[in-house]
Amino acid sequence: MYRTHTCGELRQQHVGVAVTLAGWVQTVRKFGSITFVDLRDRYGITQLLFGEELNRQLTEDPPGREFVLQVIGTVTERTNKNPNIPTGDIEIKVDSFKTLNRSVTPPFTIQDDTDGGDDLRMKYRYLDLRRNAVKKNLELRYAVGRAARNYLHEQQFMDIETPFLIKSTPEGARDFVVPSRMNQGQFYALPQSPQTFKQLLMVSGYDRYYQIVKCFRDEDLRADRQPEFTQIDCEMSFVEQEDILNMFEGMIKHIFKAVKNIDYTEKVERMTWEQAMWNYGNDKPDIRFGMKLLNLKSAFTRSERINSQLEAVLDEGNASLISGAGFGVFDNAETVLAIAVPGCSEYTRKQTDELTEWVKRPQIGMQGLVFIKYNTDGSLKSSVDKFYNEEKLKAIATAAGAVPGDLILILAGREERTRKAISELRLEMGRRLGLRKDNEFKLLWVLDFPLFEYAEEENRWVARHHPFTSPKPSDISVMINNSPVIENPEKYLEHPYSNIKANAYDMVLNGNEIGGGSIRIFQRELQEKMFAALGMSQEEALHKFGFLLGAFEYGAPPHGGIAFGFDRLCAILGGSESIRDFIAFPKNNSGRDVMLDAPSAIDDQQLEELSIALKVESR
């Protein structure tokens, strides 16, 4: 070993001990004939004191920033203690030192507040990883992974590795493919998830499976998506939805305790997908704050069945709050939604103008914003004063849950866009008001998702979650007894399939989906019906998923599972919105590793061996 101790472990009690340390030079400070060096390693920082007798060597071989030093010396008590670091009581009186390696000047400072831009830090990722802020993220990631493993082990889950070179069965996202040299003209695919393998493991009787595993999706990368990402992937046999919810809120609570020392003792809240959409405009609501939507008018309830299932049924009275006033914007809109923003009644014209501009941005895409100020003196003032008198404004404000001092914001337009916009506006106002605290964690289960989504271009159903998700038991007969064919695309919402609910659940943390899963189909007939519902021919289903259909014939148990987005979970626990900060070697938004310069051209010989040809010039 090049050291007897790390740079983080020496304390008052070690005074007088002869030690050898090795690490990186964080700073060099000269005071007259004495030189102080802060030596850094993963475990901490220790101050080194070089006396006058070492000045000659220091002059000949001067240690610079990020040099690697080995020093031999004695632990001594500091006269000027530093209470901010654990080793602050001591320093090392250096007897001799050796430069193990030099460093050229780093392209940015290795500090919490670095002067490096994103691109530079990605290119020199090995230097960015030295920064304390990044190191803390990776330490947190390791702690989260370990806590998850420990919990799952206690619960008798087994870590079982599933293959990475599998079969391409594109349904949903695009596969990354790998040409096979030994089977020319054929390709493996990289897994988008181990979904079918974990189901096979249940058929094989493994009962409880987990894996922290890389998955791959070749999608156009939106901000903060990575082509390779990590899942905590789990599956259980002989369970119903309730068992899964309990098991995995247990896991997340265990992680909270182990990693953040948070006792999350309350029951995790639950709401249906419809409640989430109705009250928050979003299937992953941030429930750290209220500001629920007032549905003044909505197309969400076009389907009678949805309407009847909603607890908060659209009260026709709400519509009457705005109708008949001659305000065309509301009268002609498909949907009108409002939120009451607490304590903002005194927003200036400038502020409300800025909010209006905000909702008009292309990302939000609304035409305008209506506001009502519910002043602290009880009076009301609005941008639509000429259509609504104070009494009417008060009725709207009250329906929105406002009290004096609040600002009511109202959006109107097409159902989908308006609901999405008010949801974004709610989150933005929550952010501005400091209601979305990094150190506050609120979990939520969203349940009862629709099983299908309508794909307009193809006029067919696609699986909202994936094709292995079971319908709610009560909806199975609806699926079996009806044809998936959509005769009238205009009226797809009236097709019985549009109302089938899935036995699926998402776990939401602070407005982010951190996990999602479902109870699976485990009968061959129902699985075949599902493939058919998605427009797959029997031949295609057999070609792609014959192994799974086959497996279901040999005693498949009822089973279900969940997968957590490990990168995202770590980011949120670390108080960040960006997963990239929690991945050791992330790719940029073009899917490139700029440090490696990958992907890159490969040799002609490699192409030759694979019997493939490029149809474009490679760089």
Of 182-221, binders to a second copy (CB under 8 A) are: 182-190, 197, 200-201, 203-208, 214, 216, 218, 220-221
Site for a second copy in 343-362 (CB under 8 A): none
Q: Residue 598, interface with a second copy (CB under 8 A)?
A: yes
- Binding a second copy (rule: CB under 8 A), the pick from 44, 172, 179, 290 is 179
DSSP 584: S
Residue 306 or 541: which CB sits closer to a second copy?
541
Determine the interface stretch with a second copy among 275-283, 293-301, 319-327, 594-602 (rule: CB under 8 A): 594-602
Let me know: does 162 contact 211? Beta carbons within 8 Å. Answer: yes
Q: Residue 248, interface with a second copy (CB under 8 A)?
A: no
Q: How many residues bind a second copy (CB under 8 A)?
A: 127
Site for a second copy in 274-293 (CB under 8 A): none
Q: Which residues contact 266 (CB under 8 A, 6 or more apart)?
A: none
Q: How far apart are CA 102 and CA 499, in angstroms?
A: 67
Q: Which residues contact 207 (CB under 8 A, 6 or more apart)?
A: 156, 236, 237, 238
Radius of gyration for the alpha carbons in the chain, expressed in angstroms and rounded = 30
Q: Residue 223, interface with a second copy (CB under 8 A)?
A: no
At 179, phi and psi to the nearest 5? -65, 140
HEC readout, 276-340: HHHHHCCCCCCCCCCCCCEEEECCCCCCHHHHHHCCCCCCHHHHHHHCCCCCHHHHHCCEEEEEE
Q: Residue 618, interface with a second copy (CB under 8 A)?
A: yes
HEC readout, 109-164: CCCCCCCCCHHHHHHCHHHHCCCHHHHHHHHHHHHHHHHHHHHHHHCCCEECCCCC
Determine the interface stretch with a second copy among 86-94, 321-329, 432-440, 543-551 (rule: CB under 8 A): 543-551
Q: Residue 556, interface with a second copy (CB under 8 A)?
A: yes
Site for a second copy in 361-390 (CB under 8 A): none
- Binding a second copy (rule: CB under 8 A), the pick from 95, 171, 224, 228 is 228
- Binding a second copy (rule: CB under 8 A), the pick from 416, 547, 577, 604 is 547
**Least distance to a second copy, CB of residue 351, Å:** 41
- Binding a second copy (rule: CB under 8 A), the pick from 174, 225, 394, 420 is 174
Let me know: does 12 contact 56? Beta carbons within 8 Å. Answer: no
- Binding a second copy (rule: CB under 8 A), the pick from 93, 225, 392, 592 is 592
Site for a second copy in 516-535 (CB under 8 A): 522-523
- Binding a second copy (rule: CB under 8 A), the pick from 249, 334, 513, 593 is 593
Q: How far apart are CA 92 and CA 18, in angstroms?
A: 9
Let me know: does 520 contact 545? Beta carbons within 8 Å. Answer: no
Determine the interface stretch with a second copy among 75-83, 89-97, 364-372, 602-610 (rule: CB under 8 A): 602-610
**Least distance to a second copy, CB of residue 23, Å:** 8
Q: Residue 86, interface with a second copy (CB under 8 A)?
A: no
Determine the interface stretch with a second copy among 81-89, 170-178, 385-393, 527-535 (rule: CB under 8 A): 170-178
Locus of tokens 């909603």: 310
- Binding a second copy (rule: CB under 8 A), the pick from 104, 434, 458, 481 is 104
Handedness of CA 450, 456, 461, 462 (dihedral sign): negative
- Binding a second copy (rule: CB under 8 A), the pick from 139, 269, 416, 440 is 139
Q: Residue 60, interface with a second copy (CB under 8 A)?
A: no
Q: Residue 602, interface with a second copy (CB under 8 A)?
A: yes
**Least distance to a second copy, CB of residue 459, Å:** 19
DSSP 497: G
Q: Build a one-symbol-per-residue string for 2-41: x at contacts with a second copy by CB under 8 A, - elsewhere.
A: xx--x---------------x-xx--------------xx
Q: How far apart are CA 253 and CA 317, in angstroms?
A: 42
Q: Residue 149, interface with a second copy (CB under 8 A)?
A: yes
What is the rounded end-to-end Cα distance, in angstroms, of the chain? 45
**Least distance to a second copy, CB of residue 26, Å:** 11
Let me know: does 354 contact 318? Beta carbons within 8 Å. Answer: no
Determine the interface stretch with a second copy among 29-37, 136-144, 416-424, 437-445 (rule: CB under 8 A): 136-144
Determine the interface stretch with a second copy among 226-234, 386-394, 399-407, 424-432 (rule: CB under 8 A): 226-234
Q: Residue 264, interface with a second copy (CB under 8 A)?
A: no
Locus of tokens 């498909």: 334
**Least distance to a second copy, CB of residue 609, Å:** 7
CA angle, 107 then 577 then 350, to 5°:
100
Q: Residue 539, interface with a second copy (CB under 8 A)?
A: no
Q: Residue 587, interface with a second copy (CB under 8 A)?
A: yes
**Least distance to a second copy, CB of residue 519, Å:** 12
Q: Residue 173, interface with a second copy (CB under 8 A)?
A: no
Q: Residue 111, interface with a second copy (CB under 8 A)?
A: no
For the beta carbon of residue 214, count every other beta carbon within 10 angstroms.
13
The answer to whether the peptide bond before residue 63 is cis (omega within 30 degrees of 0) is no
Let me know: does 188 contact 152? Beta carbons within 8 Å. Answer: no
**Least distance to a second copy, CB of residue 571, Å:** 14
Output the CA–CA distances (angstroms, integers) from residue 102 to 8, 68, 94, 269, in the order listed. Answer: 22, 6, 19, 55
Residue 169 or 352: which CB sits closer to a second copy?
169
Q: Which two tokens stand for residue 59?
A: 């002059």
**Least distance to a second copy, CB of residue 383, Å:** 45
Determine the interface stretch with a second copy among 74-82, 400-408, 526-534, 549-557 (rule: CB under 8 A): 549-557
- Binding a second copy (rule: CB under 8 A), the pick from 73, 88, 116, 145 is 145
Residue 40 or 460: which CB sits closer to a second copy?
40
Strands 44-50 and 90-101: parallel
Judged on CB neighbours under 10 Å (0-12, 13-18, 19+), 6 is middle
Q: Residue 546, interface with a second copy (CB under 8 A)?
A: yes
Output the CA–CA distances (angstroms, integers) from residue 325 to 224, 236, 393, 447, in the order listed. Answer: 45, 56, 11, 38
Q: How far apart are CA 507 and CA 418, in angstroms?
A: 25
- Binding a second copy (rule: CB under 8 A), the pick from 96, 379, 483, 600 is 600
Residue 140 or 344: which CB sits closer to a second copy?
140
Judged on CB neighbours under 10 Å (0-12, 13-18, 19+), 418 is buried
